[in-house]
Amino acid sequence: MAALAAPRLAMFGCFSTRPISVFAVHQRSLHNIAKKDNTTTSLVPVREQSTAVAAAKPSAVATSKGDYVVTKLDDVLNWARRSSLWPMTFGLACCAVEMMHMAAPRYDMDRFGVVFRASPRQSDVMIVAGTLTNKMAPALRKVFDQMPEPRYVISMGSCANGGGYYHYSYSVVRGCDRIVPVDIYVPGCPPTAEALLYGTLQLQKKIKRERKIKTWYRK
C-alpha cells in the first residue's frame, strides 16, 4: 500500500501544482510581450532611457567679462551723449520763438548741457520747429545728412508733427517724419518752452537706454 500510495501522492502533487505554474508562465509571457512592444515603439535605446531627473541647464544670461565691460562702456558713452546735447538753430516758423525762450535765463537749457550750435557738423540734435514746406524739405534732409552719428531729431509743434493747420495745403509736408527719422514728438500750436524742455529730457532718457556698442559686440 505504501508503495502504491507514493506514486499516487506524487501524481496528485504534480496535478495540483501544474495549473499554478502555467498561470505564472502565462503572466511572464504577457510581461515580456509588453516589454518587447515598448522597446520596439520607442525611438530611444534602452540603455539611454533613465528615470533620473535631468539636471537643470544654466540660463543663457551672459556673465562674461567682455559683456560686463561692453555694458559699462555703453553706460559711460550714453552718459556723455545725453549730458552734452548740441541742437541746431533750425527754426522754420513761429515755434522757433518758443525754442528761443528755452534758451533764455527763465528756463536755462544750458544747465542740462544743451547748447545751440550754428553748424550741422557740430550738432547731434535737430529741432524741427515750425511748418515744413515742400520747398524746404530737400534742404532739411541735406542738413540732416551733414550731422555726425549718432544724431537725433525732435519734432516741435503740430505743423512739424503732421502738417497742423496747413495739413491740407498743397505746399506743406504732412509731418517731418516723412523726410527725416523723428525720435521725440512735442505736440502743441505752438508748444511752450516747458514742453520742449520736457521733450529734451525725454530724449536724454532714450539715449540712456541705448546699447549700440553691445549690439555691435554681439554681432
Read off the DSSP letter of residue 157: S
- Grade residue 15 by pLDDT with cuts at 50, 70 and 90: very low
- Grade residue 211 by pLDDT with cuts at 50, 70 and 90: confident
pLDDT at 17: 46
Task: Give the CA radius of gyration of the chain.
Answer: 41
- Grade residue 11 by pLDDT with cuts at 50, 70 and 90: very low
How does pLDDT run across 171-187, given as a tens digit for each residue?
999 999 999 999 999 99
pLDDT at 137: 93
For residue 149, give the C-alpha cell.
552719428
Fold of the 65-218 domain: Rossmann fold (3.40.50)
Distance in angstroms (rounded) separating the CA atoms of residues 78 and 207: 6
Residue whose cell numbers read 502504491: 4
In contact, 148 and 124? CB cutoff 8 Å: yes
Three-state secondary structure of 83-110: CCCCEECCECCCHHHHHHHHHCCCCCHH
How does pLDDT run across 123-155, given as a tens digit for each residue?
999 999 989 999 999 999 999 999 998 899 999
pLDDT at 81: 81
In contact, 128 and 175? CB cutoff 8 Å: no
Distance in angstroms (rounded) separating the CA atoms of residues 13 and 15: 5
Distance in angstroms (rounded) separating the CA atoms of residues 103 and 193: 9
This prediction has a pTM of 0.64
Rounded to the nearest angstrom, the gap between the alpha carbon of residue 182 and the centroid of all alpha carbons in its chain is 19
Alpha helical stretches, state H, the chain: 2-41, 65-82, 95-103, 137-146, 158-162, 193-208, 212-218
Domain residue limits, the chain:
65-218
In contact, 145 and 169? CB cutoff 8 Å: no
- Does 13 score more than 70 pLDDT? no
